[in-house]
Amino acid sequence: MKKNEKIRTPLGIISVFKNEIPERYHCVVEPEILRISETHIRILTIDQAVSWGEEVYSPRLHQNCMNPENITLYPLEIEWNGDKVTVSDYYGMKKWITGEKLPEIQDWNLKLKKLRCNPCRNCGRC
């Protein structure tokens, strides 16, 4: 796969593999554009998120709280089959059909966010 490959979909232009994956991260599946058939394409990206208002689907970073050095990256999956597009991340899935309101595509960065743990469970993350 080419670095920073892009593909035009009904949702907009999706880029794949623009971000560098740090060596310490474990990527569950490598980012790619897989052409299954002439009308069926599967895209795995770590570059962008898709949002429908407050509902956001994005790649996910998971840091093991007991072993903070274990960081796993789950790419965003976009499957385009004919007139419908399915967007799914680690937590959920949303379908878009031609004629519906288009979602917004936004850039996504590989960055861990420190979570607030209330109540504290003494995991040692902070």
The pLDDT assigned to 77 comes to 95
Query: Per-residue pLDDT tens for 2-50?
Result: 567 888 888 888 888 766 777 888 888 888 899 999 889 999 998 899 9
Contact 17, 47 (CB under 8 A): yes
How far is the C-alpha of 78 from the C-alpha of 64, rounded, in Å? Answer: 26
How far is the C-alpha of 93 from the C-alpha of 8, rounded, in Å? Answer: 20
DSSP line for 23-54: TTEEESS--EEEEEETTEEEEEESSEEEEETT
**Count of alpha carbons within 13 Å of 94, Cβ hemisphere only?**
19
Radius of gyration of the chain, Cα coordinates, nearest whole angstrom = 16
Contact 108, 46 (CB under 8 A): yes
How far is the C-alpha of 54 from the C-alpha of 82, rounded, in Å? Answer: 26
Q: pTM of this prediction?
A: 0.80
Query: Per-residue pLDDT tens for 74-120?
Result: 999 999 998 899 999 999 999 998 888 889 999 988 877 665 566 66
The pLDDT assigned to 94 comes to 94
The pLDDT assigned to 1 comes to 47
Query: Per-residue pLDDT tens for 58-70?
Result: 999 888 777 778 8
Decide which of 123 and 35 is more confident: 35
**Sheet with strand 55-57: strands edge to edge:** 55-57, 48-52, 104-107
- Which range, of 53-57, 84-88, 120-124, averages the lowest pLDDT? 120-124
